[in-house]
């Protein structure tokens, strides 16, 4: 019995040598140095260069992964099991990431120090009205959770047009959320330098806003992949990972709204 040397005799995917992890790390380091240069000298040329290089590497790295999962058929059921476990562990790490922000917030708010007037919000801090833009953003994100679920069920029933429509709605809702948060930051009556309240508010909501941008990009990539018929009703983990991530972002926002916006005022 002859066995081809290049044919793998196992269901696992042994990744080929790739330059993208090293180059990606270097490009992120350039972004970090560029941000320091921007903060201290008001020059953003190095930051823009780092961002452009990072986007180029992301495009080529994702292209390679898409080839592996579609045209080469290397993402077998065993490989998908490992990828699902990896995504679950990643989301768990993100839970603890945001848990540190909530810990800081409640540590400072439940027993405010004398330096901030022994009160929360601190004296002379005018917080946002939770029934204005924050409530609208909550409705937008909850609605986007419904549309991404709609897209998932449409995909499992092989309704391509319905999947594209619902994913496009999700992307638009994510963009609306980001725009409203930018407007809220622009009109904020306090800054990150205004005591522990300003620091915890902008760090917690800012990192969540960054996750919304990442999630919107994640869903946008999957939108084009659905359009190009990269997924089937049985094999669409790339989309499932984006949906899990988006639902996580939704849940974190609900906790942020209840604690940072609503509870801080009442």
pLDDT 10s digits, 199-229: 999 999 999 999 999 999 999 999 988 888 8
Evaluate if residue 2 carries a pLDDT over 60: no
Evaluate if residue 91 carries a pLDDT over 90: yes
pLDDT score, position 71: 77
Phi, then psi, of 33 in degrees rounded to 5:
-65, -35
pLDDT score, position 157: 87
Alpha-carbon span 247 to 44, nearest angstrom: 34
Within this chain, domains 19-74 and 76-265 share the same CATH topology = no
pLDDT score, position 253: 95
Tell me the average pLDDT across 16-24: 89
pLDDT 10s digits, 150-189: 998 998 888 888 989 999 999 999 999 999 999 999 988 8
pLDDT 10s digits, 234-264: 778 888 999 999 999 999 999 999 999 888 7
pLDDT score, position 6: 59
pLDDT score, position 117: 76
Pick from 7-21, 24-38, 121-135, 193-207: least confident: 7-21
Alpha-carbon span 231 to 244, nearest angstrom: 17
Alpha-carbon span 43 to 246, nearest angstrom: 34
Kindly provide the b/e burial profile for residues 123-147, where b requires at least 16 CB atoms within 10 angstroms of the residue's own CB.
eebebbebeebbeebbebbebbbeb
CATH number of 76-265: 1.20.120.80
pLDDT score, position 4: 52
Torsion of CA 37, 32, 214, 103, to 10 degrees: -100
Average pLDDT across the chain, whole number: 88
The residues, ordered by sequence, that sit 6+ positions from 23 with a Cβ below 8 Å of its Cβ are 53, 57
Pick from 38-52, 132-146, 219-233: least confident: 219-233
Q: Of 50, 55, 19, which Cα lies nearest the Cα of 221?
A: 55
Tell which CATH classification among 1.10.1060.10, 3.90.650.10, 1.10.287.70, 1.10.287.180 matches the domain 19-74.
Answer: 1.10.287.70
Q: Where are the domains of the chain?
A: 19-74, 76-265
pLDDT score, position 8: 63
Share of the chain above pLDDT 90, in %: 50
pLDDT score, position 7: 60
Q: Which pLDDT band holds residue 266 (cuts at 50, 70, 90)?
A: low
């Amino acid at each position: 019995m002859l066995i081809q040397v290049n044919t793998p005799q196992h269901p696992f995917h042994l990744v080929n040598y790739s330059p993208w992890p090293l180059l990606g790390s270097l490009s992120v380091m350039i972004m970090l140095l560029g941000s320091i240069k921007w903060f201290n000298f008001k020059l953003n040329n190095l930051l823009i260069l780092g961002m452009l290089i990072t986007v180029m590497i992301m495009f080529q790295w994702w292209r390679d992964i898409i080839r592996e999962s579609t045209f080469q058929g290397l993402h077998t059921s065993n490989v998908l099991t490992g990828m699902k476990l990896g995504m679950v562990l990643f989301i768990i790490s993100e839970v603890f990431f945001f848990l540190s922000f909530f810990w800081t917030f409640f540590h400072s708010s439940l027993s405010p120090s004398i330096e901030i007037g022994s009160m929360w919000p601190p004296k002379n801090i005018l917080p946002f009205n939770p029934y204005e833009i924050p409530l609208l953003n909550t409705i937008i994100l909850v609605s986007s959770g419904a549309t991404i679920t709609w897209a998932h069920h449409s995909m499992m029933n092989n309704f391509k047009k319905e999947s594209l429509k619902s994913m496009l709605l999700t992307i638009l809702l994510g963009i609306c959320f980001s725009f409203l948060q930018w407007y809220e930051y622009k009109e904020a009556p306090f800054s990150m330098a205004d005591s522990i309240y300003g620091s915890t508010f902008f760090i917690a909501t800012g990192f969540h806003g960054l996750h919304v941008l990442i999630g919107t990009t994640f869903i946008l990539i999957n939108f084009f992949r659905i359009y190009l018929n990269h997924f089937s009703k049985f094999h669409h983990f790339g989309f499932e990972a984006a949906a899990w991530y988006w639902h996580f972002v939704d849940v974190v926002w609900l906790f942020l709204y209840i604690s940072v916006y609503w509870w801080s005022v009442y």
